[in-house]
A and B are shown apart, each in its own frame.
Chain A
Amino acid sequence: MSEHAKAPADEETTADETDEQAPVTTGAQSVVRALENAGAEYIFGVQGGAIMPVYDALYDSDLNHVTMAHEQGASHAADAYGIVTGKPGVCFATSGPGATNLVTGIADANMDSDPMIALTGQVPTEFVGNDAFQETDTVGITQPVTKESYFAADSDTVGDDVGEAFALADAGRQGPTLVDLPKDITQGETDVEPAEATTPDTYDVQEEADDEAVQEAAEALAAADRPVILSGGGVIKADASPALREFAMEYEIPVITTMPGIGSFPEDHELSLEWAGMHGTGYANMAISNTDCLLAIGTRFDDRLTGGVDSFAPDAEVIHVDIDPAEISKNIYADYPLIGDAREVLRQLFDAMPRAPDVDEWREQCQTWKDEYPMTYDTPDDEPLKPQYVVEKFSDMTPDDTIVCTGVGQHQMWASQFWEYTEPRTWVSSHGLGTMGYGVPAAIGAKLAAPDQEVVCFDGDGSFLMTVQGLSVAVREQLDITYVVLNNEAVGMVRQWQDGFYEGRRMASEYPWIPQFDKLAEAFGARGFRLEAQEDVEETIEAAREYDGPSVIDAHIDPGENVFPMVPSGGDNGKFALQEDHLEEL
């Protein structure tokens, strides 16, 4: 998939010979060697002046480089690659605008704890601080949104910096790291191979929780009348989904996920209440409101999940499992803090449970809520196409391991509500940062991470327009991705809030003109489809799936459709609105 033509000599090299790597001679080669040693496969990037030495070193490497259309796309593609593989995705950009364009994707990865390493070119050391051409203080700009940002100061150690940054991105609570690479450092001569990569000596990770604390938590859970498990993104990051399933099914405790936790527990299982929060299911929000013991694993209690803190699970003792001590009692006080790796602590808890809690009545109650608040939508024949129907149909037609990527907005909520997720690492979205435009490049990263799995990207018309240039990459790399634009000719989520909370004053949320996305797709060299009628949904999806390459379905949906249920910002999870007029009552 590498785009540049390899030198002829490379192609004639036998396998035996390629095993022996040529010694490094420059800092840039050391950088590339460190990435190779770390097991990197793909780099998503954009060329530029200050990063050129590193690209030059890539010329002789087996690493696959994917040239993105914009650095923001490079960071989102790397982020998605990290989500799907569980290993840090790699992105490159040059100094100045290249680096600042990466920032959105880095901040996105930081909010969602996605493993990623960003390497940025920098002006030569002697010019740093002089406001040189394409100079920005990349370390200063990115430090608040990375686990750590490094400034490489020596050609002999630049490979070690990259190795350490890679290891750090992957270790403990995963997240993005960055190494800023001044051009003289990468161009500089060195014969020092990167040392074996380790995390910084000041970086400690506690894998197992304190046994006594585990025991106390297990007793509390076993004694609970209305226990619920809240499974966050950390469960997926720790590859703890099997352990979670085993635990929940053994002790028959209902499971709610957060949005990033989607896929950690199969939504078709009777214990699943799907996900809670602002647009979560009514039954999940009722259960989380009324639980008396909340086992929360790998979640940071984001405000979109909790709503108002005062009314969040107000009767619950909270057992909080997290690998990051700084998340414990940050937003919601933990009665039982368990610091450790989700998989390890679930195993510890499994063994420590004195008995299963007596929850027959509680599970019946949860079932009642499922019956009372089903996820439904109207599909009268005379109405325009419903977005929920498109998502649901697509879900029905595709294998369980299909990866769903999204942008941010109403379409993202419908994609998470009406698709049935059963496997971890099949839901690739921008949660904490809420980055419109995430979808197009994310799908590229996801497809390269899992070439044998089907990849569909739901996007909104607003979100799609923000990174549509990424289609050129999907076409060039011949990636079999189906993009579905749920097109309501508006920034729908903003419009929904304007209708709900701003007296319908639709300022800057509706598009008087929007491109024809099917034709735009064709211009990029992708296959385009226009979808307007419900009866054409199945056929259009089938045609797009059959096309071997990127395709775009421009689905013109009912512009009046909004996302429900809805807990207004800062509201009480138990008082979700099921329709527009409920919002007025809250």
Chain B
Amino acid sequence: MTGGMPGPAPHDRMHPTGRRNKQGIRIDPEAEVTHEPRQAVLSALVKHKPGVLSEVSALFSRRQFNIESLTVGPTVDDDTARMTILIEEPEPGIDQAKKQLRKLVPVIEVTELDPTALRRELALIKVGGEKPDDVNAVAEMYDGQAVDASTDSVTVEITGSKQKIDAAVEAFKQFDVQEVVRTGAAALERGPTTLEKHD
């Protein structure tokens, strides 16, 4: 025999009426409230030193944040690099991702960019060399250009928003697409706002 502590049984006790959702937010007990995921562009200034990229990407993986792309590159300051991270999460997840990022020691500053921020991605698309003129024509439609050609292949460069590149890749499928590489988004706020001067 074990336990045997006194006291009313579980269902004979006073019990509150409220309820929380999965994010721990109090909600109307009668209504089902869920947060829909949305896309957010996070821009982070980080120390430019070994290991930072792995520290940031490991954070997203171990906390199960849904990440679409992550790009990193140097800035005008040799000691600082800039990361652009596209995530898709419900609102509380986006907030949490920002806070967890800020907590990493090599991270200097994190902000979420406005949905109107400039976002550019670059793609290189290698297709078969049978119809170079047609390839060029399609490339021009997407403000792209052929950057390499051989007898068997043409490689085209396209820059633009994710949607534009999605469309371009789709359009090039009429040719024999051999390889595609995309950089993921780089993004900056429009107007004079910078990461250091974010309000």
Contact = CB atoms under 8 A, between A and B. Distances in A.
- Do these two chains interact? yes
Contact of A579 (B4, B58, B99): B4
A451 interface: no
A325 B99 contact: yes
A43 to B, nearest CB: 24
Interface in B8-42: 8-11, 13-26, 29
A309 B19 CA distance: 9
Interface stretch (A89-97, A143-151, A457-465, A528-536): A143-151
A325 B102 contact: yes
A148 B105 contact: yes
A330 B105 CA distance: 19
Contacts of B17: 314-315
B62 interface: yes
B5 A202 contact: no
B60 to A, nearest CB: 12
Contacts of A144: 58, 62
Q: Is the interface of A mostly helix, strand, loop or mixed?
A: loop
A314 B2 contact: no
B7 interface: yes
Interface in A283-310: 286, 289-290, 301, 306, 309-310
Contacts of A310: 19-22
A375 interface: yes
| Chain B residues touching A, majority SS | loop
A139 interface: yes
Interface stretch (A190-198, A436-444, A569-577): A569-577
B114 interface: no
B169 interface: no
Interface residues of B, number: 44
B1 A378 contact: yes
A399 interface: no
Interface stretch (A11-19, A255-263, A559-567): A559-567
A582 B29 CA distance: 26
B16 A577 contact: no
B103 interface: yes
Contact of A564 (B3, B13, B47): B3
Contacts of B2: 560-562, 564, 579-580
B166 interface: no
Nearest to B101: A326
Contacts of B102: 325-326
Nearest to A334: B24
A282 B16 contact: no
Contact of B5 (A168, A314, A564, A586): A564
A314 B16 contact: yes
A582 B4 CA distance: 10
Nearest to B58: A144
Nearest to B29: A314
B24 A312 contact: yes
B50 interface: yes
A277 to B, nearest CB: 16
A475 interface: no
A202 B105 contact: yes
B92 interface: yes
B13 A575 contact: yes
B69 interface: no
Nearest to B95: A329
Contacts of A524: none
Nearest to B16: A315
B75 interface: no
19 contacts: A140-B54, A202-B47, A282-B5, A289-B15, A306-B24, A309-B22, A310-B22, A314-B18, A316-B26, A326-B96, A326-B103, A329-B96, A333-B24, A375-B5, A377-B5, A574-B16, A578-B3, A579-B5, A582-B3
Interface of A: 139-140, 143-144, 147-148, 151, 168, 200, 202-203, 282, 286, 289-290, 301, 306, 309-312, 314-316, 324-326, 328-333, 372-378, 560-562, 564-565, 574-580, 582, 585-586
Given A314-B20, A575-B11, 14 more contacts: A140-B54, A286-B13, A290-B14, A310-B20, A310-B22, A314-B17, A315-B26, A316-B26, A324-B103, A329-B92, A331-B24, A373-B5, A579-B3, A582-B3
